[in-house]
Every structure is written in structure tokens, then in C-alpha cells.
Amino acid sequence: MTEWWGDAVVYQVYPRSFADTNNDGIGDLAGITAHLDHLAWLGVDGLWISPVHPSPNADWGYDVADYFGVHPDLGTLDDFDALIEEADRLGLRVLLDLVPNHSSVQHPWFLDARRGRDAAHRDWYVWADPSPDGGPPNNWVSSFFGPAWSLDERTGQYFLHSFLVDQADFNWWNDDVRDEFDRILAFWFDRGVAGFRIDVCHMIIKDRLLRDNPPATTADHFMDQLRGQRPEYNSCRPEVHDVLRRWRALGARYDPPRVLLGETYVFDLDQLASFYGHDDELQLALNFPFLLGDFNADALRDVVERTEVTLPGEATPVWTMGNHDVSRFPTRWCGDDPRRARAALVMLLGLRGTTVLYYGDELATPDTNVPVDRLVDPVSVRYHPVANRDAARTPMRWNADRGAGFTADSVDPWLPFGDAAAGSVADQRDNPDSALHLTRDLIALRRELPALRAGRYETWPAPAGVWAWRRGDSALVAVNFAETSTALNGVDGTVRVSTDRARDGEPVGGRLVLGPLEAVIVALT
């Protein structure tokens, strides 16, 4: 298996926060283009850009109002073409974000659908009559909590919104919706997009009979228990696989074949495995049990071992420590302890499969403490401090200037900058001991050692608090989650990268000593 994405490192860009070239405080496509050299220097294979389309920004781009355009805040289609051209020149692939579960309620299709029960686009969305008592048609709740249905007074029916009331769910039983999305995929594939990250991939198709979800039990995931129901009829429906097969076949008509990376937000690994199909659905499915797991040796080893045995033989696992919806890993997992954050980077880049880094992960950027009056994400506004997505969406720090190299010094960006002490690209590039250099060296090592690229995963016996694994026959990764030193036996080779950079190149003869919170990759002999 030698497809580019099979052992890749993909870098997620949150476009509003990457780099602002026209000094309006908002990152833009030209800013991404201008900084692609950073990604090339880092050594990643490609980038995934969160939505760039016109949008009223009720959910910051995840409420699309035109699937064929570029949001004026971010630039134009010409800017997009220029981005692709520069990415090609640098050998970087570009993935866009596809949002097929819902559109903005401001999308012309939904505006039309609302006009009347016989409107041309009525059936493009999920409508249902009130229940006999006048309430919602069934008991489904929004992923963001609260009812998933709102009454459209004018036409007397409810419409479904699995997220915000500003995001109306498409009716994927309708063939015109399927055809239109084929056109959307082809439009961007033809423009040179290497693939899509597919938003809410598991939920797009709903039970045709709109049956009530059963109550959650203690066996269900914590979030389902909080919502009070198991998403039996509005998530992971068998028919979602037809849609994924259709998209995979569409992507296969291109050279190179286009890639589908799913936001498969499921906690059951058999369900996760199902999204790969028989190598005819997603090539890549994001692993949320890992991302949202606890940061300790037992918990993460368990997820990885179970994933390795559960995914179909040819499937590529996908590991990530962050995205625009969760607290950044140095804060959420590592308690802002830089030693832990460095160990986490070694762990992530030592796993088999494809890795997705979130912008700033390479700097070990922690969460930003965004003041309540600066919150802009509706989920953060509603649920902070329990949930705060804005904390992970603040502007990238490129240098130590007032504007952080993100924007002009005089400009107040759309979200505030994080703490300067967390460091910038420029500072960290000057410091060979930085998280940035560690990340770059780990990516380079993945390219250099075939075992780190493709070698199978095999757990290596290790004392409590340590997670170690072999990759193929010739690489060993060991992560000490404990504050005390320890050792592994039977290791012969050379330390290639350690979180303690002074050890790089050190020979190991039988006994591999690990310092507190140290992580190493050893080339075995």
C-alpha cells in the first residue's frame, strides 16, 4: 500500500486563524498560501482546510450557504486556485472540508424549501408533521443538546437540525441531493483538491420512518447518556455506506484517486471499522476514542490495540490529538506541562497509519484563555467553561510582533491571541530543542525509517506507566507517562529521537532507560 495518504501527516488549517494578508483581523486563503512554506519545511504531506465557503458563520463556516464559492472574508476562487498551484509546487496535497449533513438555513435551497410544501427544494431537507400533541415529530435531540426539530410556522411542519437551528439537515433519501453533491465533489476535485474531510460523516442519512431513539442506558457512551438517548435512528444508519461508496467511486475516477477522510464521531470500534467498507468507502476514518481518551499508558494502549485488531486488514488508522472542536492537547492531556506535550508528539508520530496535526500542535500551543465577552462560537457561548471551542481556534503565532505575524500590529484579530510565552514559529525555529524541531525531526524520521512508515504495530512489554510498541522489526517507540525513571529490557539499537534531545544518537545495549515523562524512538538492530 503506497498511496500518499496511507502513512501521511496531514495538517489541519483553521483558515480564519492561520494568517491574515489584508489586515482585517481574519485569516484568509492568501495567508495560507503565503505560509505553505512552513508546512513544506515541517515535512507534512498535505493540509486539510476547514470550510472556506460563503456562510453566515452561525457555526463558523460549518453552515454553508454556497458550496461552489469562497467566503469573501477568506478571498476568492482565484485565491483558491493560487493556493492549489503553490501547494502543487511544494508537493503538498490539499483537502477541503465537505459539509453534507446540513446547509445554512440561509442557503438558497433552504430559503426555497421554506416557501411552501410544494417548493422545488422542499424535499431536499428533512420535514415532518407535528406529533399529535403539536410537538416535534420525534424525540431526537441536537448534537449540541436541545430539540433537533424546529417548527416552520408558515408551512406548519418541523424541519430537522442535528446541530444548530441555523443548520438544516439535508434529506439524503432524495436523489437530487445525491446528484448535487456529486457535482460539488467533482467541482473541487476538478480544481485540484486531493480529497475531503467529511463533516459529521456518520450522521448524514436518517431513519426513513423517523423512529424515536431508545433511552440511553449506562452501557451507552457518556455523551449519549447526557443527551438521554442512544442515537440509533439518526446516526450510523446502514444506508450511509451507499453514499460513501458512491463518493469513493467518484474519487476513483481521478488520477491520483481522491481521498475521503471522515469525521467518524463514534466510540464503538466496530462501527468505526464499518466506514472503511471493503476498501470501497472512506480511506481514512478519524479515531475519536483515541482523541478523547485519557492520557495514560493503559487507556491509549488499549484504544490503539483494539483499533489495530478491529480495522480491516488493509485499512489505515487515523490518529489525531486535536481539532477545532476540542481543547488543545497540551492543555487537555498534558496539564500545560511541556514534557508531557513533547512525549505526546513522539507517541502520535510513532503510531502506524495517518496522523492529523492541528495547526499549532507543532508548537505545542496550549489553549487560549478567551475572555467570555470575546467568545464567538455558539457552543462556547452556551456551554463555557464546560465546552470552549474558541480556546483552540485563536490566531497562529508566527513571530513575537504585536500582531504575531498573523496580522498588522495595530489590528485586533477576530479572536484574541494566546499567551506570547507559549512561543511562536520564529522563536521555536531558532531553538533546536523546541517542540517545533521535535515535530519536524519526527516527521523526517517517519520518512527515513520504512518501519515507521509501514511496519505493523506490536505492543512491547513494559512496566506500569509505560506504553511501548514495536513497528515492524526495526523500530521501537516507548513513552513513559510516569514522573519517575524506568527501563525496558531487550532493546538493542540506537536512540533516533528522544524528547531529551541530548540522547539522540545514543546507543542502546539491552536496557533502555527512560527518564520521567520521556519518550523515545529507537532504531533496532
Catalytic residue positions, numbered: 199, 263
Least spacing, CB of residue 162 vs ligand GLC, in Å: 8
Please name which of 459, 171, 485, 435 lies closest in space to residue 307, comparing C-alpha atoms. 459
> Helix %, strand %, coil % for the chain, to 5?
30, 20, 50
**Contact between 160 and 139 (Cβ < 8 Å):** no
324 binds, among Ca ion, ligand GLC, none (CB under 5 to 8 A by kind): ligand GLC
Q: How far apart are CA 371 and CA 375, in angstroms?
A: 7
Q: Write down the residue that cell numbers 511562536 correspond to.
A: 424
Least spacing, CB of residue 169 vs ligand GLC, in Å: 10
Least spacing, CB of residue 20 vs Ca ion, in Å: 4
Our CB check for ligand GLC shows the closer of 291 and 404 to be: 291
20 binds Ca ion (CB under 5 A): yes
Our CB check for ligand GLC shows the closer of 261 and 508 to be: 261
22 binds Ca ion (CB under 5 A): yes
Q: Quick count: other Cβ atoms within 10 Å of Cβ 500?
A: 18
**Contact between 360 and 396 (Cβ < 8 Å):** yes
Least spacing, CB of residue 119 vs Ca ion, in Å: 37
CA distances from 410 to 23, 24, 278, 404, 415 (A): 9, 10, 54, 11, 14
Our CB check for ligand GLC shows the closer of 31 and 51 to be: 51
Stretch that binds Ca ion, among 19-27, 39-47, 126-134, 277-285 (CB under 5 A): 19-27
Rounded to the nearest 5°, which phi and psi values hold at 298? -65, -45
**Contact between 481 and 499 (Cβ < 8 Å):** no
441 binds, among ligand GLC, Ca ion, none (CB under 5 to 8 A by kind): none
Our CB check for ligand GLC shows the closer of 265 and 398 to be: 265
Nearest residue to ligand GLC by CB is: 62
Least spacing, CB of residue 267 vs ligand GLC, in Å: 14
Least spacing, CB of residue 392 vs ligand GLC, in Å: 11
Tell me which residues touch ligand GLC (CB under 6 A): 59, 62, 99, 163, 199-200, 263, 324-325
469 binds, among ligand GLC, Ca ion, none (CB under 5 to 8 A by kind): none
With both helix axes pointing from N to C terminus, report the angle between 338-350 and 435-448 in degrees, rounded to the nearest 10.
20
200 binds, among Ca ion, ligand GLC, none (CB under 5 to 8 A by kind): ligand GLC
Our CB check for ligand GLC shows the closer of 199 and 367 to be: 199
CA distances from 97 to 15, 250, 318 (A): 11, 17, 16
Among 24, 212, 336, 427, binds Ca ion (CB under 5 A): 24
Our CB check for ligand GLC shows the closer of 16 and 301 to be: 16
CA distances from 420 to 153, 250, 393, 492 (A): 50, 45, 15, 42
**Contact between 416 and 374 (Cβ < 8 Å):** yes
Least spacing, CB of residue 5 vs Ca ion, in Å: 30
91: alpha, beta or left? (left if phi > 0; alpha if psi -120 to 50): left
Our CB check for ligand GLC shows the closer of 257 and 322 to be: 322
List all residues 6 or more positions away from 190 whose beta carbon is below 8 Å from its beta carbon: none
79 binds Ca ion (CB under 5 A): no
Tally the C-alpha atoms within 13 A of residue 139's C-alpha that lie toward its C-beta: 13
Least spacing, CB of residue 336 vs ligand GLC, in Å: 24
28 binds, among ligand GLC, Ca ion, none (CB under 5 to 8 A by kind): Ca ion
Q: How far apart are CA 438 and CA 435, in angstroms?
A: 5
28 binds Ca ion (CB under 5 A): yes
Maximum CA extent, the chain: 77
Stretch that binds Ca ion, among 18-26, 55-63, 288-296, 335-343 (CB under 5 A): 18-26
359 binds, among Ca ion, ligand GLC, none (CB under 5 to 8 A by kind): none
Our CB check for Ca ion shows the closer of 165 and 408 to be: 408
The one-letter amino acid at 225 = Q
Q: How far apart are CA 413 and CA 16, in angstroms?
A: 10
404 binds Ca ion (CB under 5 A): no
**Which residue intervals of 8-72 are DSSP H helices?**
29-34, 36-42
124 binds, among Ca ion, ligand GLC, none (CB under 5 to 8 A by kind): none
26 binds Ca ion (CB under 5 A): yes
Positions in the binding site for Ca ion (CB under 5 A): 20, 22, 24, 26, 28
